Amino acid sequence: MTTYSQDLRLSLIADGTQVGTWGDTTNANLGTLIEQAIAGVSGGPSTTGTYPSITMPSDANYALTANNGAVDQARNAVIVINSTATLSQTRYIIAPAGASKVYIVKNSTSGSQAIAMSYGTTSAPTGAAVSVANGTTSIVYGDGTNFYGVSASGGGGGGSSIAINEQAFVATAGQTVFNLTSFSYTPGINSLQVYVNGLKQVLGEAYTETSTTSFTFVTGLNDGAIVEALGGAALAQSISALNVAYNEGGTGAVTTTVQAKLQETVSVTDFGASTSSSDNTSAIQAALTYVASVNGTLLVPGVFQCASALSLTTASGVTIKGTSPTLSGFQYTGTGSGTFLSFTSCENIHLDTVEITYTSSSFTGTLVAHTNGARNSFFKCKLAGVSVSSATYLLDLGSCITTECIRTRFSGGQRLVNGGTTSTTIGFTNCDFDTYAITAIYRPTKAWSIINCAFENAINTTGSAVLTESADNIYGLTISGCWMGDTTSSSAFTWIYLGKVNGCSITGNYINGTGYLNSTGITIAGASSGVNISGNYFGSLLYGVNLNSLDTTYSILANTVTAGTTEVTGILQQSSGLAQIANRIVQTGAAGFYLQYPTYGTSIAIDASASNNFVIGVTNNTGFTISNPTNASTQYISIKIVNTSGGAMGTITWDSNYRLSSWTNPANAYSRTIDFIYNGSVWVEKSRTPSDVPN
């Protein structure tokens, strides 16, 4: 059951609850609700739109809305009270019962009447109230029972508040002197603030305080300039956040200071970074160093350029979060072969909704590097660059463990991700990989999982989705539910190229080639064991699976293979080592799986260890012999005769070990199929198509 804090109505997360969603609740508490309580203005902008405005619909008392765990009127730091009705007398503004709160209250109602902050109900206000005159702004606070006005000496229950007075002017051309008629101020104690067209003016540089009722600009203003003067004792006072206590309000909550609470989350702009600057390296490095010292969160409200490298060493518990509604992140403008953003021996570094990019084609280094790290993550991020021949890696995970990337895009580099043979338990889920020269994922050797990812634009002969070196040992690799397609390569390449595999599952993937029909879906290069390739789709490929080893155990089950645009493509084939490993291949699946196309001639060889299914394409009217199958075991074979000769076929001679009834050749553009079972010495007919089947 969800509970809420007494005063600000924040969601309180109980132990063991909100698994997978506690971050959303925490972000809502910190980034929306606490932000509203500290800085929110009713009707003003918020991270999700605007804070609720306050308009009294009638000439009656009005209760502020109060919502648990969501924005409301009562949580705002500044409440601007408007009215559609003309008030005829003082009306009460009712705050949530029992909730302590400080308010800045502006009375903008119609009717020249005061409003009074109070507790209770609209029909029966209770406790001491504080009156705010029409057209003024006051600071008040309530303790859950009574409201108090703030004065220089501290005030008392129901006492008067400090009014922040204001008066506006429209300047004439060259005007310098402005005389106050609505209020007076005390010069020299910072009790007057002056704004021109919304910009705060600097005392002593832009204007001088000439008397208690006037101020004078150093330079004459433009015609029509809007001048606003704010005055009151409150302007001269300030309280350090270090001296203001903060308590979450839940059971067992520890009291800290407002300063400490606010410093848990900082922005790069707090350290001087600017989206208009061409080099924010120093500011962002200072921000990173600070959040690492407090295990905090660094907000990135836009795209910030850096000309030099950034780094963290032995940091833990740092979150870097983009907050801009469009793009947020770091843009590297440097060149050379170094690393832009490096994390060394760091744990629990989390990048959330951040883009890290490079802009120069002369950058040949690494964009982001995690070295000897653990439990790090990328969520909804983007790592990208301008050229496939530039950055060596977008993400280098050398010697990392338990790192995950979720819903992250990688684009523009030679190799997009590097495992370096020593990284362990690395996961990619729902990620996109595109625009690369050599491979998307390089050397994923120890317990990597690549799930529901998309790979595209392999642009040259080695543009793989997943690539290891032939001598690499791969342990516990999972590739599942991925899409591989949209390649622009006119040269042969392999989507998944693995060295020596020790436990690997490649299941349920879509692996598609090109119109050039010259590439391979999966290549296993070295002696391997425990390889499971099942439920995949292979399309427009020369080979679906290419097995190069003579000493390998495989399970290859129920894959779908399409012929593509010609009869010689999309065939799942094996290399020369097949004869030695055939008895360890599980040959199950639909008819047409493991299709073999024996070479057509006057004598056609059938190697029973290569497949269960053979297709003989007849291209002329010359007779031929179908030889006895070699490498026979207790199995069945299916032989399909396809007539593409343009006319009648020549006579087929079945070799001595075939046992079948009279055979009829298919007519031109038709085919017939016959199945045999091996009984240990001869091949006996099991079934056949009863008539011609169209090609």
* Amino acid identity at 505: S
Measured in whole angstroms, how far is the alpha carbon of residue 9 from the centre of its chain? 30
Confidence of residue 239 (pLDDT cuts 50, 70, 90): low
* Amino acid identity at 147: F
Residue 668 pLDDT exceeds 90 = yes
Residue 635 sits in the same domain as residue 679: yes
28: tokens are: 């809502």
Residue 641: the pLDDT is 93
Rounded Cα distance, 425 and 299, in Å: 29
Confidence of residue 384 (pLDDT cuts 50, 70, 90): very high
The residues pairing with 417 across neighbouring beta strands, listed in sequence order, are 395, 441
142: tokens are: 């309530």
- Residue 336 placed within a domain: no
Residue 101 sits in the same domain as residue 206: no
Instruction: Confirm if 64 and 96 have CB atoms less than 8 A apart.
Output: yes
Rounded Cα distance, 85 and 255, in Å: 43
The most confident of 19-23, 503-507, 581-585, by mean pLDDT? 503-507
Residue 177 sits in the same domain as residue 73: no
Q: What angle do CA 341, 344, 346 make, to 5 degrees?
A: 105
Residue 558: the pLDDT is 65
Residue 533: the pLDDT is 87
Residue 87 sits in the same domain as residue 180: no
* Amino acid identity at 641: I
Three-state secondary structure readout of 96-114: CCCCEEEEEEEECCECCCC
How confident is the model over 596-618, as a mean pLDDT?
86
Q: Is 18 exposed, middle or buried (0-12, 13-18, 19+ CB in 10 A)?
A: middle
Higher confidence at residue 259 or residue 576? 259
Residue 150 sits in the same domain as residue 180: no
Measured in whole angstroms, how far is the alpha carbon of residue 573 from the centre of its chain? 39
What does 470-487 look like in DSSP terms, one character per residue?
Answer: TT-EEEEEEEES-EEE--
Confidence of residue 580 (pLDDT cuts 50, 70, 90): very low
Residue 176 sits in the same domain as residue 72: no
Q: What is the pLDDT of residues 537-558, one digit of tens each?
A: 888 777 778 776 544 566 666 6
| Strand 256-257 versus strand 245-246 pairing type | antiparallel
Q: Tokens 């429209």 sit at which residue?
A: 170
Instruction: Indicate the helix (H) or strand (E) that contains 292.
Output: helix 281-294
CA atoms within a 13 Å half-sphere pointing along the CA-CB vector of 119? 19
Rounded Cα distance, 600 and 606, in Å: 11
Measured in whole angstroms, how far is the alpha carbon of residue 557 from the centre of its chain? 34
Residue 185 sits in the same domain as residue 117: no
- Residue 296 placed within a domain: no
How confident is the prediction for the chain on average, in pLDDT?
84
Residue 142 sits in the same domain as residue 169: no
Higher confidence at residue 585 or residue 453? 453
Residue 162 pLDDT exceeds 50 = no
Instruction: Kindly report whether the global pTM for this prediction surpasses the value 0.85.
Output: no
Confidence of residue 156 (pLDDT cuts 50, 70, 90): very low
> Of the candidates 134, 162, 190, which is a domain's last residue?
162
- Quickly count: other Cβ atoms within 10 Å of residue 656's Cβ: 8
**What Cα–Cα distance (Å) separates residue 605 from each residue in 188, 591, 596, 614, 624?**
106, 20, 11, 10, 11
Rounded Cα distance, 153 and 155, in Å: 6
Segments forming the whole domain that contains residue 89: 3-162
Residue 146 sits in the same domain as residue 170: no
Residue 62 sits in the same domain as residue 12: yes
Higher confidence at residue 616 or residue 572? 616
Rounded Cα distance, 192 and 186, in Å: 8
> Of the candidates 211, 236, 261, which is a domain's last residue?
236
- Residue 260 placed within a domain: no
Residue 573 pLDDT exceeds 50 = no
What does 505-531 look like in DSSP terms, one character per residue?
Answer: EEES-EEE--TT---EEEEE-S--EEE
The most confident of 232-241, 449-458, 527-536, 660-669, by mean pLDDT? 660-669
* Amino acid identity at 243: N
Minimal CA–CA distance to 70: which of 117, 122, 103, 33? 33
Contacts (Cβ under 8 Å, ≥6 apart) of 262: 38, 241
Residue 169 sits in the same domain as residue 149: no
Instruction: Name the percent of the chain lying above pLDDT 70.
Output: 86
Count structural domains, the chain: 3
- Residue 489 placed within a domain: no
Residue 90 sits in the same domain as residue 122: yes
What does 134-151 look like in DSSP terms, one character per residue?
Answer: TT-EEEEEEESS-EEE--
Instruction: Confirm if 468 and 440 have CB atoms less than 8 A apart.
Output: no
Residue 591: the pLDDT is 31
- Residue 416 placed within a domain: no
Residue 160 pLDDT exceeds 60 = no
**What Cα–Cα distance (Å) separates residue 379 from each residue in 30, 413, 430, 436, 634?**
19, 20, 10, 21, 53
Residue 552: the pLDDT is 54
Indicate the SS3 state at residue 594: coil
**What Cα–Cα distance (Å) separates residue 208 from each residue in 160, 184, 185?**
30, 15, 13
- Residue 654 placed within a domain: yes
- Residue 403 placed within a domain: no
DSSP assigned state of 235: G
> Of the candidates 236, 253, 269, which is a domain's last residue?
236
Rounded Cα distance, 505 and 509, in Å: 11
- Quickly count: other Cβ atoms within 10 Å of residue 688's Cβ: 17
Rounded Cα distance, 67 and 70, in Å: 6
Q: What angle do CA 315, 317, 320 make, to 5 degrees?
A: 90
Minimal CA–CA distance to 299: which of 310, 288, 308? 288
Q: Is 278 exposed, middle or buried (0-12, 13-18, 19+ CB in 10 A)?
A: exposed
Instruction: Confirm if 364 and 338 have CB atoms less than 8 A apart.
Output: no
- Quickly count: other Cβ atoms within 10 Å of residue 627's Cβ: 18
| Strand 11-12 versus strand 45-46 pairing type | unpaired
- Residue 319 placed within a domain: no
